[in-house]
Amino acid sequence: TDAPEFDKPQLLFGCRPCEAASLPILDKVFAWDYQDRFYQLRRQMTTVVTVACHQSDEDCFCSSVGGSPENTDGSDVILYNLADGMFEVRPVTEKGEALFEGKTSESHKTGRACPPPPVTFDPAKCKEWMDSHFDSPFWAEHALRCVGCGVCTFLCPTCHCFDIVDEGSFAKGNRVRNWDFCQSALFTLHASGHNPRPDQGARQRQRLLHKFSIYPDKFGKILCTGCGNCTRYCPTVLGVKPMLEDIEGQEG
């Protein structure tokens, strides 16, 4: 028995631009060689309201991957904080216009986003280095402090790896799609016992290559929005931004 179709409209309210920007990126992979109706129906039934950023921190790097504090990719409406509980409403799509139709009033006030964070690396240069340094000791050296907890992937808006698992008993069960992550030692473990990514260095390399080389080559988009969560919440302060900054500084 197939799972029921998702047919209830839903609203994602208060997203940041770097979160909403993940949706058109993920649209590519879920409508590629297989039309994933489970994803696509939820996407069609979802309206996304974002809030332009009024501040950034040292871990933000949206500007390094083509984003900005007021990027509208993936948004149906973007709000600008005017203070005193008021927001400027700027519809982006027809869904956004329909959501706020008759619910706003005209005003002379206009909102502004914060300045973009500084650009700290060039994705194209980093890709060029990564593509030609697969076996570099850089990966092992920089992954020494990685504990494989997976928080970088759990909080990433674009990480989408999953596993198909049969859960239940011999009498009754469900075939479900579970979130999975490349930083786990079990992620690529074969039934034979062989693991093509046997250590954290190989797993960190896979994560960065996927985001900045493999996915762009296949779909024309970087698999990263520069939210900074992977560094901000990493217990050892690793993540995409410091790794790519170090890669940019490599010679040869």
The single-letter DSSP state of residue 64 is: G
pLDDT the model gives residue 65: 98
pLDDT at 115 over 70: yes
A 10 A CB-CB count for 66 gives 16
Q: Which of 2-16, 41-55, 62-76 has the lowest mean pLDDT?
A: 2-16
pLDDT at 252 over 90: no
The tens digit of pLDDT for each residue in 50-75 reads 999 999 999 999 999 999 999 999 99
Read off the pLDDT band of 4 (50, 70, 90).
Answer: confident
Closest CA to 53 of 36, 71, 35, 37: 71
Residue 79 tokens read as 């709000």
Q: Are 74 and 24 in contact (CB under 8 A)?
A: yes
Q: Give me the phi and psi of 178, to 5 degrees please.
A: -110, 140
The tens digit of pLDDT for each residue in 119-133 reads 999 999 999 999 999
**If you average pLDDT over residues 10-29, what whole number do you get?**
97
Flag whether the pTM goes above 0.85: yes
**If you average pLDDT over residues 185-196, what whole number do you get?**
94
